[in-house]
Structure 1
C-alpha cells in the first residue's frame, strides 16, 4: 500500500516539475500546492510509522512552500521526484 502512495507522490511531483504544468498550478491555483503539502505530510506520517524513508515527503513539503519562486519551485519538485523514485527503488518492501 505504501509503495502505491509513494508512486502517487512521485507522479504529483513529476507533474509539478514540468514547467508548463508546474507554473500553471503554482500561479493559478496556489491552494493546490497547499493540498500537496498536506498530502506529503500524511505520507510522511505513514512512512514514519512503517519505518520507511521520509526524505522524499519532507522535501515535498518544502517544495510545496517554495511556490513564490518560479524557477526554484520547478527545481525543488524535480529534486523531490528524484528522491522519491530512489526511495521507492531502495526501500525494503517497496517494490
Structure 2
C-alpha cells in the first residue's frame, strides 16, 4: 500500500517539475500546493509509522512551500521526484 502512495507522490512531483505544468499550478492555483504539502505530511506520517524512508516526503513539503520562487520551485520538485523514485527502488518491501 505504501509503495502505491509513494508512486502517487512521485507522479505529483514529476508533474510539478515540468515547467509548463509547475508554473501554471504554482501561479494560478497556489492553494493546490498547500494541499500537496498536506498530502506529503500524511505520507510522512505513514512512512514513519512503517519505518520507511521519509526524506522524499520532507522534501515534498519543502518544495510545496518554495512556491513563490519560480525556478527554485521547479528544481525543488524535480529533486523531490528523484529522491522519491530512489526511495521506492531502494526501500525493503517497496517494489
Q: TM-score range by the shorter chain?
A: over 0.9
Distance in structure 1 (CA, Å) of the matches to 2:20 and 2:64? 16
TM-score scaled to structure 2, two decimals?
Answer: 1.00
* Match of residue 16 from structure 1: 16
Task: Give the 3-state SS of the residue equivalent to 1:53 in structure 2.
Answer: coil
Task: Give 5+ residue unaligned stretches, structure 2.
Answer: none
Residue 84 (1) aligns with residue 84 (2):
yes
- 1:38 aligned onto 2:44: no
Root-mean-square deviation (Å): 0.1
Work out the number of aligned pairs and report it: 95
Give the Cα separation in 2 of the matches to 1:61 and 1:90: 21
Shift of the alpha carbon at 1:7?
0.0
